[in-house]
Every structure is written in C-alpha cells, then in structure tokens.
Structure 1
Amino acid sequence: MQKSLGLLMLIFYATGMILGAGVYSVIGKAAGVAHEGLWLSFVLAAVAALLTALSYAELSTLFPKAGAEYVYMKEIFPQRKILSFLCGCLMIFAAICTASTVALSFAAYLQDFFKAPEALIAVAVLIFFTLVNIWGVRESGWMNIVFTLVELSGLLIFIYAGLKQPDFGKALSAPLSWGIVNGASLIFFAYLGFESMVNLAEEAKEPEKNIPRAILISLALTTVVYVTVGLAALAMMSPDDLEKSDAVLSDALMRHSPEAARALGGIALFATANTVMIALLAASRICLGMARGRDLPKMFSAILPKRQSPWLASLLVFALTLLFLPLKKIEIIASVSSFVTIVVFIIVNAAVVYLRRKDPARKRPFRVPGAIAGWPVLPLLAAGIALFFLFHFEEQVYYVGFGIVIFVLLVYQALHRRRA
C-alpha cells in the first residue's frame, strides 16, 4: 500500500480517536468516585494507557503491516494460529461496535438541529464514511484533521469557561484516596483509540520513527487536555452534581454560558463523526491483514489500484457494522467493545515479554525502556493494570464479552476442521 501518511496525520488520527466521544460519557461517573481527585484519575489513566501504548509502539515498528494485533500474533506465535485469529476478530468486533454505537450517538445529537429517524441517519453516516475511506487514506486524513480541530475547540471552550471560575485549580490540593484509582479505571476508556492508529503503519512514512512519535505525542496532548477539562469541570460543578448529570460538559457550561453549551452540542457532531470514520478505517485494515493471512477470504485483500485502499474490506466492515445498529443498547455494546479491547491489550503486552525472552538479540527500531535480567518491566506492569481494569465492568458485559470470545474460538475450530 502507498506510504502517504506523515507524522502530522498520524498524530491527528490518534488524537482524533482518543478525544472522540469517550470523555463526554465517563467524566461524570469518574467524578462520583474520585471526587476532587478527578484530575489525578486522568493522570493515572494516561500512565496506564502509555504503558500499553509503548508495547504497541515496539511491535508496530517490528511488524509495520496492516492488521496490527493479528499480524503481531501471527509473527510471534506462528504455531498458535488460533491466537492471531482471536485477536484479529476481537479488534474487528471492537471497531465495528464503536462505529455502530457512535453513529447512533451522532444521530441522537443531530436531533437538536434536524429531525429524522435516528437509524436512517446512522446508516447514512456509515455509508458516507465508508465511501470516504475507500476514496483514500490521505483524503480521510485531511478530513480527520479538520474534525479533530473542531472537537478540540469544543473542549477548549469548556476549559476557557472553567478558567474564569474562582475555584479553578482548587482541586489540585485534593487528598489522595482509593477513589482516584477507581476513577482512573473508568477514565481509561477515554484514552482508547491509540491502538487504532497502528493499523496505518503500512501506509505511514518511516513507520519505525513516526509511529512511536505519533503515539507518544497524541497521548501527551490528550492528557493535558483531559486533565484541564477535569479541573474545569470541578470548578463549575460539584462532584455530586457531575455524577448525576447525563451530559456533564453541556450541563456545566449551561450554568455559565448557555450559548457555549449549545455550541458544544454542535461540536459533538464532529467528535462522533470523526470516531466513526477512524473506527471504520481501522477495522478495514484488520480485515485486510486477515485476508492476506488467509483467515478471511482472499478477495477481501483487494486494493483499488488508483486509490490504494482496501475497498472490499471496507464494504465488509460496513456490512458488519449494520448488523449492530438494531441493538441500540449503546452503553452495553460500548462496554463490551472496551472489554474485548482490554483482553487484547493483555495479550499484546504478554507478546512483547515473550518475544524479548525468545529473541533478545533481534533489532528493534523502538524498544520499550526498562528491563531487569532480560524481563521488560513496563509491559509486565501494563498487562497487570489491564487485568485490573477487567474487573470494573457490569455483570452483563462479562456474559456478552466471554460469549463473544467463545463464539470466535468455535468459529476458528469449525474453519480449521473444514480446511483439514
């Protein structure tokens, strides 16, 4: 595939996916458990995300191909084909769940400006961004830059309103408590998205340099924004009021600037639209990688000669995403998406540790720093933190999540027997 993505576009892809709609939905619940330490929860969650991001940076520079997690497992564990199949399917599932749920969120936000059936709007959004992604990754990259700047402006408006409050910064002296850790476990999901960017490694210029840089820069930028958003929210509303609100940022702004609150509702359209576009893009690249590895039909590896985009894989992702629209249970589907993503995070971190022990002399363009007696400490810590986060979902999410894992394993066994 054509290498057309420079460092700037990679940063915007990662930043746009991270900023997305996550912070709008988790900040209230996190404030309810972290209280005045909400801003520290953002810092802890950023550190947790960074640890796994470093593992992704190491593997993406070793194997800069479309397919990311699927390719990593296939290269590191060639005799454990079931592992690469599982990771690939889980990440496709996570991406299409994200696309479908956020498309429905976009349709809900649009009702304030234009009345139309939400399902119809969601389908139209999915069709539009599927066509944009087929048109070309560079074209979708420029659109992503515009959308990311717009959604960033919404958060900056919120921060500006908070800065004008006399209590801004008061939370910096908040006492430490275990609630801060619990808040971080909720806020961690607002940082998900950096893993989607590594699927573009094959289309990146100098991926061995630009992929790690893009991951680290995007996480640094979003952490600064998120921490300041947390301080602004605490300056405008009490933690109890934040917890009770279903639309924290809009409700907080409404008390101080109704015009800004209404503008934030419009900006949310860009945030959700951008998330849909990048999720569809990432899923299509995983499908492309799995088709090349013969775990999906070979036809889905077809590339448009002129546009250099996997058009059949993009259409497959669109069709799969449509299947989840009728469910309409946004919170549950989104939580299941986060659940399977964290399962893959544990596997990815474990793979870094395994490869370091198996092949320590291998040349690595980027290496996660810190090792004791040949054991990489940070990936081990990242795997432990991800495992900790797995215990912060509602009961129903575990049933659905484990059901999906079992279903994928059964599908693999059926396909394996058929080929045998």
Structure 2
Amino acid sequence: MNQLKRVLNLPLLTFYGTGMILGAGIYTIIGKAAGIAQESLWLGFILAAIGSLMTALSYAELATMFPRAGAEYIYLKNAFPKHRWASIASGLMMVFAGAATASTVAVAFTGYLETFFSVPTLLAAGTLLILFTILNIIGLKESSWVNVIFTLIEVGGLIIFIYLGMNNPKFGEALSAKPSFATLSSAALIIFAYFGFENTVNLIEETKEPERNIPLAILLSLGISIVLYILVALSAQALLPPQELAQSQAALTDATKIASPKMAGVLSGIALFSTANTALIALVTTSRILYGMAHDHSLPAPLAKVSAKRKTPWLSALIVLTVSFLLLPLGKVEVLASISSFATMISFMAINAALIYLRIHAPNHKRPFRIPLSIKGIPIIPVLGFVLSLIFCLQFEGTVYTVGFLLFTIAVASGLWMQKSKNPFFLKESKTVPQN
C-alpha cells in the first residue's frame, strides 16, 4: 500500500526535473568545465547530453515497468533477484550521489552569496541544508511550490544571460572549435549538470498517472535543459575566455559583468535561487530512495516511517542531511561534483545493464513506455548508454576515485551484509516480479 500522497501532476513533475537539472550545473561547474574543454566547451555539453538522454530513456522504461519509489534499487532487484546485494549497493550509491549533489550546490550557493557579503562556507552551506531538510519534512506539496517559483527565477536568469551573450559580436565563434580528448574529459564533469532526470522517478508514488507522466516529465525536463545549456555555454564563451571562466568562483556572474555590470548583481541573486533549488530537490528525492529501499525491506524499517500528518519520510530526510554534512568538508565544488558524477555513472551502467537483461529474460513484461531500436531483442540505445557511462567513469582525478571507491566499498559491503541479515530490525522479504 502506498503511504505517500499523490500530489504531483505533469507540470509540477516537469518543474521538479527542470529545476533539479538547471541549478545543478550551469551555476556550479561551468567555469571548471571551461578550464578543461577550453574552446570546445559547448561540445562537452552536447556529448554529456547524449549520454544523459540514452540513460534517461532506460529510466523511463524501467519506471513504467516497476512504478515504485527506490529507482535503481527497485529496478536491479527485479532484474537480478538472486543478487539483492547489487540492488542495495546501487541504491546506496545513488544516496551518496544525491547527498554529494546537495553538498556541491550548497557550497556553490556560498560562492554566489559572497557577491553580496562574506559568510563562512560551512556555516552558510550547512544552514541551507538544514532549512531545506525542514521544508522537505513539512511536505512535498509545499516544497513543490517553492520549487516552481525558484525554477521560474533560474530559467529567467539563464534567458537574460543568453540574451547578453547573443548580443556579443563573438557569439557563435566557438562553433568552429574541434573536439579533443579534453572535450571528453569535460563531458564527464559536465554530465553532473544534467543530473536530476533520474531523481524524477523517485517521486513516482507521489505522482498522478505515473505511467504517462514520468516518461514525459523526464524527456521534457531534459530537453528544455539541453537547449538552455548549449546556448548558455556559447554565451559564456562569447563573453569571457575559457581561462578566465575557469578561475572564477561565480563564472556566470563574472561573464555577465562584461556585458552589463548592473545585470551581474541580478544574476548573482538568481544564482542563489538556482543553487538553493537544486539543494532542495536533491534532499527531497534522495530521501525517497532511502524510503523506497526501507519500504521494500532492504534497509532498517524505521527509514520507511512517514509523518502521520505530513506523509513525508522524516527519518530518511534526516539521514540524507547527515551524509550531506559529512561531505561538506571536501570543500571544492569540482571535487564534490565529480564524486556525485562517479557514483551516478556506476548506477547508470547498472541501470542500462538491468534494462538489457530484462529485455532478454522478461520480454513479455508490461512496458507502458518502450525504448525503440532493437537488434535480436537487444535494445541498442541502452547498450550505447552503458558504454558511454563507462567512458565517462574513466575521466576523473585521483581524489575522486579514492573517495568514490570508498563509498562504493561501503555500498557493496552494506549490500552483502543486508542480503544475509536476519535482523528483526528489517521488514520481511518482499517479492520480485517474475521473469519469463
């Protein structure tokens, strides 16, 4: 029985997806990505968009096959029921990724806040996480309307930036740039900017007509974001050289100063709404992953508890807040963003593999949404999505792998322990969908 309340229609769900995607990247990592890709920055956004779109289609199909909160965990559990540790590990990796996303944008928030006044990074970022965890616990309907307002503000800011860039004589010059290995490396960081579509599925138990609205919301929010991102990248390159973008802690604000110093302050204010919005949605959706796993009997039962009045998973929300806090001391935006990307790429590979396996071993399972293009029953797009995710996963620096593999080890060890556990602290074992 669904304990959560279905309050989200297609527009609200699309706002959630779009708000999560837009705030996560453009205001956060575009400067660092420019330092890697140089003139081919906009191509990095296209390459990352292709990788995101391939895996987004896999999420859309799997979400309509198994319409429950928990996403990666639920899908892998049904694909590989004898290896429940893998589904638990994948779910926990996405919890780490969501917490890292919340930490990343909270730190980025403080960077734009310094445009107005100076506040210690840990104090400002920590306060933001606490306030939005409280809003998360108060209720999804309340937080969804905050998200709508913040998303409209951040889209407006990006449109202003694009307008300023398009009026610069250098707009479009970057279109002649040729791709290089650095373009690929930048795409591994840039793909962080597209994260959010995968979190949309964690709201499926709070969505009206989920089989219709979840796939549509994923594709709509990702499509809107791709168009805006490419135009913003071209505008940024027209206003400021890549080397200067890379040195900035508030890249879009500094680029705006070139065209209109007055608008730079406005854009910094908008950036505050954008980064704050992403922190809010990351906290909301990640808490639903923990809730879904506990409700499906693979995490301690208390994590599945919801507030009697608000119908929100309050304990799961507090756990996500704690993990986000623990990541804050890592400090640098690019490190936190890369950790989130690494954890998410691991799960993206698992998601694509699960869909391929289910197409072969459960071909007759109901699929309200189905990815086109198959050869002998094997879906081509998920195969390409798996390969591209693997390539992205090999593009990070040493610190990211150190932290990433530590988190991966914790996730796998936890999965193996929980699979064997007979602790009454867990709920009874649940059933998986039978395969053909």
TM-score normalised per structure 2: 0.90
The CA distance in 1 between the partners of 2:272 and 2:8, in whole Å, is 25
The match for 2:434 is none
Give 1:252-271 correspondences, 5 Å limit: 252-271=255-274
The match for 1:156 is 159
Q: Does 1:383 align with 2:378?
A: no
Give 1:112-123 correspondences, 5 Å limit: 112-123=115-126
The CA distance in 1 between the partners of 2:269 and 2:29, in whole Å, is 19
Give 1:16-415 correspondences, 5 Å limit: 16-175=19-178, 177=180, 179-415=182-418
Cα distance change of structure 1 residues 171 and 132 upon mapping to structure 2, 3 Å threshold = same
The CA distance in 2 between the partners of 1:278 and 1:226, in whole Å, is 19
The one-letter code matched in structure 2 to 1:369 is P
The CA distance in 2 between the partners of 1:48 and 1:328, in whole Å, is 27
Aligned length: 420
The CA distance in 2 between the partners of 1:412 and 1:239, in whole Å, is 43
The one-letter code matched in structure 2 to 1:200 is L
Question: Deviation of residue 410 (structure 1)?
Answer: 2.4
Cα distance change of structure 1 residues 287 and 182 upon mapping to structure 2, 3 Å threshold = closer
The CA distance in 2 between the partners of 1:266 and 1:112, in whole Å, is 9
The one-letter code matched in structure 1 to 2:124 is I
Cα distance change of structure 1 residues 311 and 108 upon mapping to structure 2, 3 Å threshold = same
Cα distance change of structure 1 residues 400 and 116 upon mapping to structure 2, 3 Å threshold = closer
Q: Deviations over 1:17-52 (max 9, x none)?
A: 111141234333444454444333322221211000
The CA distance in 2 between the partners of 1:416 and 1:169, in whole Å, is 54
The CA distance in 2 between the partners of 1:120 and 1:302, in whole Å, is 30
Question: Deviation of residue 210 (structure 1)?
Answer: 0.7
The match for 2:13 is 10
SS of match in other structure, 2:53: helix
The CA distance in 2 between the partners of 1:273 and 1:2, in whole Å, is 25
Contact 2:109 2:125 in 1 (8 A): yes
Greater mean deviation of Cα atoms: 203-212 or 406-415:
406-415
What 5-or-longer segments of structure 1 have no aligned partner? none
- Aligned alpha-carbon RMSD (Å): 2.1
Contact 2:20 2:278 in 1 (8 A): yes
Question: Deviation of residue 415 (structure 1)?
Answer: 4.3
The CA distance in 1 between the partners of 2:236 and 2:185, in whole Å, is 18
The CA distance in 1 between the partners of 2:139 and 2:35, in whole Å, is 43
Cα distance change of structure 1 residues 245 and 221 upon mapping to structure 2, 3 Å threshold = same
Contact 1:68 1:286 in 2 (8 A): yes
The one-letter code matched in structure 1 to 2:307 is L
The one-letter code matched in structure 1 to 2:228 is V
Contact 1:90 1:405 in 2 (8 A): yes
Contact 2:111 2:249 in 1 (8 A): no
Question: Deviation of residue 383 (structure 1)?
Answer: 0.2
The one-letter code matched in structure 2 to 1:154 is G
The CA distance in 2 between the partners of 1:408 and 1:38, in whole Å, is 34
Question: Deviation of residue 175 (structure 1)?
Answer: 4.6
The one-letter code matched in structure 1 to 2:327 is F
The CA distance in 2 between the partners of 1:178 and 1:125, in whole Å, is 37
Contact 2:86 2:412 in 1 (8 A): no
Question: Deviation of residue 151 (structure 1)?
Answer: 1.4
The CA distance in 2 between the partners of 1:31 and 1:389, in whole Å, is 17
